[in-house]
């Protein structure tokens, strides 16, 4: 088990890897105590039987820069294969402003190939490689050095089995002519906006029981302060204060440090210093927000006139399409989208791209009375009218 600890070692491996059609990649990181993920280990493997075809890269080593890996990521002749790539891609984007290109995500591909919704790596190893995965090192602290042999073995397994999984799924996609389906899904993963967390938009993730614009103005200011503070100090947002405390503060609208002391849910550290000052300033901004700057509540979905019978029929159609195509239902259309279609909306993901081929086209025909659904044994078939 070779561990690369210098830039030259990594450059040599990446130069050799550039001669292969693909490379498998995985990472180990920590995020429990930080806002941004701390990259602790990178695992790489090329399609070869050589002893050093799979390696570990130690980004915590003093003499190592990941620039040779980033250069390989930019090499469009080599496919970069991940499983459930979103968090890995976020790390590389935040660290270096780079996305692997071209990218292949085996979790997305597996959903398209009929392995179910958000299928786990262990499941694919079991079903495709006919092997098991040792999980004993799953909850390890990857920032500690030295790594044990057991940790290294566990980490390398995340990229060695991935080679066979990739080759199997890529062949299946080629056979079924669905490679472009995966490509459509992966475009979102390689968009900077996917990982750009804007503090001014953070309030939209806070769940409240009211749509009062004045109340939400305070929520917005508190959420923006929390997000900005967490980013600047690289601490988890919940370490600043949690959502329930945020909602409490928006309700009580404290004006002084003494008022903050009466909070039931606020962490002790947040009742003094920079966080306390930030809370009081945020509350004041929210309370004094001009009428023309109040949050605009999107109530369009509340006004949808959903035809419940049609919505139920669309669910039956989706189940039928799921069974016939082998694609996970969640990947085709969400329950919310089905209600929106039944209410007459058409500008939806389910109505474009490959989803339209699989489901959207017949969904429109069902809504327009051009097709019907009929039971045939245990299956549901589409009948033209």
Q: Are residues 262 and 245 in the same domain?
A: yes
Q: Are residues 106 and 162 in the same domain?
A: yes
3-class DSSP assignment, residue 4: strand
Is 302 part of any domain? no
Return all residues near 254 (Cβ < 8 A) that are at least 6 apart: 260, 262, 263, 279, 280, 283
| b/e 47-72 (16+ beta carbons within 10 angstroms → b) | beeeeebbbbbbbebeebebebbbeb
Q: Are residues 33 and 85 in the same domain?
A: yes
Q: Are residues 63 and 167 in the same domain?
A: yes
pLDDT for position 299: 62
Q: Are residues 6 and 127 in the same domain?
A: yes
pLDDT for position 51: 87
Q: Are residues 344 and 226 in the same domain?
A: no
pLDDT for position 136: 76
Is 298 part of any domain? no
Burial class (CB in 10 A: 0-12, 13-18, 19+), 292: exposed
Four-CA torsion 165, 168, 171, 172, nearest 10 degrees = -100
Instruction: Specify the pTM.
Output: 0.89
Which residue among 159, 194, 229 closes a domain? Answer: 194
Which residue among 178, 194, 210 closes a domain? Answer: 194
Residue numbers of the domain that contains 106 = 2-194
Is 6 part of any domain? yes
Q: What is the DSSP string of 176-235?
A: HT-HHHHHHHHHHHT-GGGT---GGGGGGGS--S---HHHHHHHHHHHHHHHHHHHHHT-
Q: How many CB atoms are closer than 10 A to CB 285?
A: 17
Match 């109340």 to its residue by tokens. 215
Q: How many CB atoms are closer than 10 A to CB 98?
A: 16
Q: Are residues 83 and 58 in the same domain?
A: yes
**Cβ distance 26 to 133 under 8 Å?**
no
Which residues of the chain are modeled with pLDDT < 50?
Answer: none
What is the rounded CA–CA span in Å between residue 314 and residue 339? 9
CA-based radius of gyration for the chain: 25
**CA geometry: angle 182, 188, 189, nearest 5 deg:** 85
| CATH number of the domain that residue 140 is part of | 3.30.420.10
To which H or E segment does residue 71 belong? helix 67-74
pLDDT for position 245: 97
Q: Are residues 286 and 175 in the same domain?
A: no
Q: Are residues 159 and 14 in the same domain?
A: yes
Q: Are residues 265 and 353 in the same domain?
A: no
Considering only the C-alpha atoms of the chain, give the largest distance between any 2 of them, rounded to a whole number of Å.
72
Is 300 part of any domain? no
Q: Are residues 183 and 276 in the same domain?
A: no
Match 């474009």 to its residue by tokens. 352
What is the rounded CA–CA span in Å between residue 144 and residue 23? 26
Report how many domains make up the chain: 3
Q: Crossing angle, helix 67-74 and helix 86-96, to 10 degrees?
A: 110
Is 328 part of any domain? yes
| Count of alpha carbons within 13 angstroms of residue 111, beta-carbon side | 20
What is the rounded CA–CA span in Å between residue 325 and residue 344? 25
3-class DSSP assignment, residue 105: strand
| CATH number of the domain that residue 318 is part of | 1.10.150
Is 301 part of any domain? no
Which residue among 247, 264, 293 closes a domain? Answer: 293
What is the rounded CA–CA span in Å between residue 80 and residue 257? 52
Is 76 part of any domain? yes
| CATH number of the domain that residue 224 is part of | 1.10.150.80
Q: Are residues 58 and 145 in the same domain?
A: yes
User: Could you tell me the two tokens for 114?
Assistant: 């009929």
pLDDT for position 300: 60
| Closest to 360 (Cα-Cα) out of 375, 374, 344, 348 | 348
Is 103 part of any domain? yes
3-class DSSP assignment, residue 380: strand
Is the alpha carbon torsion for 15, 16, 17, 18 positive or negative?
positive
């Amino acid at each position: 088990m070779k561990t690369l600890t210098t830039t030259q070692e990594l450059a040599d491996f990446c130069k050799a890897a550039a001669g292969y059609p693909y490379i498998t990649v995985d990472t180990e990181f920590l995020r429990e105590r930080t806002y941004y993920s701390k990259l602790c280990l990178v695992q790489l493997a090329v399609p070869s039987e050589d002893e050093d075809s799979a390696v570990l890269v130690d980004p915590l080593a003093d003499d190592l820069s990941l620039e040779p890996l980033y250069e390989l990521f930019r090499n469009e002749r080599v496919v970069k294969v991940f499983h459930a790539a979103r968090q890995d891609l976020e790390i590389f984007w935040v660290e270096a402003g780079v996305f692997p290109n071209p990218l292949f995500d085996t979790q997305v591909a597996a959903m398209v190939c009929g392995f179910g919704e958000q299928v786990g790596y262990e499941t694919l190893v079991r079903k495709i490689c006919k092997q098991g995965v040792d999980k004993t090192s799953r909850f390890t602290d990857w920032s500690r050095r030295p790594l044990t042999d057991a940790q290294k073995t566990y980490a390398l397994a995340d990229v060695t089995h991935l080679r066979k999984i990739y080759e199997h799924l890529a062949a299946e996609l080629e056979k079924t002519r669905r490679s472009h389906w995966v490509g459509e899904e992966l475009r979102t993963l390689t968009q900077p906006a996917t990982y750009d967390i804007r503090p001014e938009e953070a309030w939209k993730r806070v769940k409240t029981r009211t749509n009062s614009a004045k109340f939400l103005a305070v929520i917005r200011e508190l959420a923006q302060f929390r997000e900005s503070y967490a980013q600047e100090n690289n601490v988890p947002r919940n370490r600043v204060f949690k959502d329930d405390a945020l909602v409490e503060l928006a309700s009580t609208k404290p004006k002084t440090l003494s008022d903050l002391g009466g909070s039931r849910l606020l962490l002790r550290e947040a009742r003094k210093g920079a966080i306390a000052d930030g809370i009081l300033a945020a509350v004041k901004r929210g309370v004094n927000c001009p009428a023309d700057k109040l949050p605009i509540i999107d109530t369009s979905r509340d006004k949808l006139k959903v035809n419940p019978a049609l919505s139920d029929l669309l669910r039956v159609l989706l189940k039928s399409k799921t069974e016939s195509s082998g694609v996970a239902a969640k990947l085709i259309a969400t329950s919310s989208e089905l209600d929106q279609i039944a209410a007459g909306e058409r500008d939806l993901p389910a109505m474009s791209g490959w989803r339209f081929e699989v489901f959207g086209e017949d969904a429109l025909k069902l809504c327009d009375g051009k097709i019907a659904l009929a039971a045939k044994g245990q299956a549901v078939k589409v009948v033209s009218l």
